[in-house]
Structure 1
């Protein structure tokens, strides 16, 4: 789960950089990277603090994953429709919308199960939510295939470090 949390954070940064030049109002993109960062933090807390040993910290991580994870899904659905990368926004946005709806419904199911003290069923819901959320984040690869990311690190001779993103389209996809 820690490795997944690191990848979720890395993907959040890549997604932010990818969408930054495509949006006139960046607030939704900033919200996307912040919420996905909190989701990653929640994954780390859940992975490192077991319910039996540190219930409070584990529960905080669960709330971060559930709350911010659902927000990540819906923000990214909106961003998918707004940016419409390679005219795939409608198809990808509808698919992500279905996944976001599933995440929202599982959260409601989890709350219902927890309220009725169905611990085993609630744990199943937690794992199902985690898997769907990870699958949702994996759908960013659909748009990432159309971008080239370059990270340039410089020593003391050139103080500018940069991340460069360029759009490209392979002849294979045309």
Structure 2
């Protein structure tokens, strides 16, 4: 009687459960080893795996579609809410998600690059729209800046070079926006190779032009601001290019950060032209209409005033709102 009572103690039941779980773990380990060996054999032979046929009478009747690894797993069992089954359910869920949605590679993880943010619709539509609008604004601001310098000062090599560089940058920007990297990689990279260097050249030329034409203390301050922004943009572009060619995920993520920082600095740089465009008048458009001949335009006005003709004073108008 004592022996039979001792055999039914909770201690013996726990030992039986431990042994049973140990055997189950052993079988599971053997099965996992076989799976690993089979996958290694498939990788060496490059043979696509064939999913096993579904077992009859299995409670899991909804097989999942094979992921990129080729392994077909069924959905995890429904979790009943008990604490003892929580770890097993999480393990099944991890295996299922790892098979159906495997972790992306290093070059696939970095989707925060400017180009990668506009590859799929509807993002690609907005990306193309923003790049096209930016192309138009670069051409317009460059043209107004060119005419404004001729009106207030005189034409020079830096002014003409800045206008030409801006229009080349606009051509590269329109290629970047309309040829997404996943659809036309070569044309996209050609456009990026034109847009990024020319944008740096624009800000450098405009910074040098501002320092050359500065006469007041405020104009010198604007020149210093543009010089600092040009330096930051150059550093951001160099770091972005250096980190982009690396295999490390962290460095490629840093490349995306510096690329966005570069774009923000360039947009803020163009915003600084509001200081000069504040006193823009109708004479600026007349300079463009006369092909840059502001001196002839001023001389004719001076002769008209000496002859007693009406004086036309162009006040700042809606053009400055651009």
Q: TM-score range by the shorter chain?
A: 0.7 to 0.9
Q: Would you say the 8 A contact 2:282–2:315 is kept in 1? A: no
Q: Which residue of structure 1 lines up, in the alignment, with residue 200 of structure 2?
A: 70
Q: Which residue of structure 2 lines up, in the alignment, with residue 157 of structure 1?
A: none
Judging changes above 3 Å, is the alpha-carbon distance between structure 1 residues 28 and 58 closer, same or farther for their aligned structure 2 residues? same
Higher helix share: 1
Q: Which residue of structure 1 lines up, in the alignment, with residue 99 of structure 2?
A: none
Q: Which residue of structure 2 lines up, in the alignment, with residue 99 of structure 1?
A: 229
Higher strand share: 1
Q: Give the count of matched residue pairs.
A: 160
Which blocks of at least 5 consecutive residues in structure 2 are unaligned?
1-130, 295-312, 317-322
SS of equivalent to 2:281 = strand
Q: 1:82 aligns with which of 198, 212, 219?
A: 212
Structure 1 length-normalised TM:
0.80
Aligned Cα RMSD in Å?
Answer: 2.5
Structure 2 length-normalised TM:
0.45
Q: Please list the CA deviations of residues 54-109 of structure 1 after superposition, one character each: whole Å capped at 9, or x if unmatched.
A: 11111112122211111111100011011126553210001001110111001111
Which structure has the larger Rg?
2
Q: Which residue of structure 2 lines up, in the alignment, with residue 146 of structure 1?
A: 279
Q: Which residue of structure 2 lines up, in the alignment, with residue 18 of structure 1?
A: 148
Q: Please list the CA deviations of residues 89-133 of structure 1 after superposition, one character each: whole Å capped at 9, or x if unmatched.
A: 210001001110111001111121122145444333323212211
Alignment of 1:44-55 (within 5 A): 44-55=174-185
Q: State yes or no: 1:115 paired with 2:248.
A: no
Q: 2:264 aligns with which of 131, 138, 145?
A: 131
CA distance in 2 between partners of 1:39 and 1:130 (Å): 13
Which has the higher relative contact order, 1 or 2, with Cα contacts under 8 A spaced 6 or more apart? 1
